[in-house]
Amino acid sequence: MLLKGFCIHWKSYLVGQDLDGVLPPSLSKLLYIKTVVLHRNYLKGIIPHEWAALKLETLSVAMNHITGPIPGYLGNITTLKYLSLENNQFSGTIPPEFGRLVKLENLILNANYLTGKFPSSLANLSNLKE
């Protein structure tokens, strides 16, 4: 039994565990999860659109084999403070929707196949440190 007003903030750190497969859409069922760190694995595919409903503060899927364009729906996770997508196989441009991530302090996108210019909406990210 949970006490009224009591909530659990989940964190998931699965770093360098040689996990393979795809990122699970079902992670979105963990409504109170704040941190997802899955870097240095062998995960592939795309970031599921269901994750956009989460209230994450930290998301790192660095050093995997995630492909395709960086999904614009990540811009809906307006609670994000840290986002690391580095060392994957993302292609295309940085989504202009990232301009909605006004709490973001760290945005790490290097070592992908990104093209184009930075969207002007990134000027909204006044808390960026990196």
Give per-residue pLDDT as tens, 52-110: 999 999 999 999 999 999 999 999 999 999 999 999 999 999 999 999 999 999 999 99
Its pTM stands at 0.87
With contact defined as beta carbons under 8 Å apart, do 69 and 89 qualify?
no
Element holding 84 (H helix, E strand): strand 82-84
For the chain, domains (ranges, CATH) are: 10-124 (3.80.10.10)
Q: Is the pLDDT of residue 8 over 60?
A: no
Residue 51, beta-bridge partner list: none
96/70 Cα distance (integer angstroms): 11
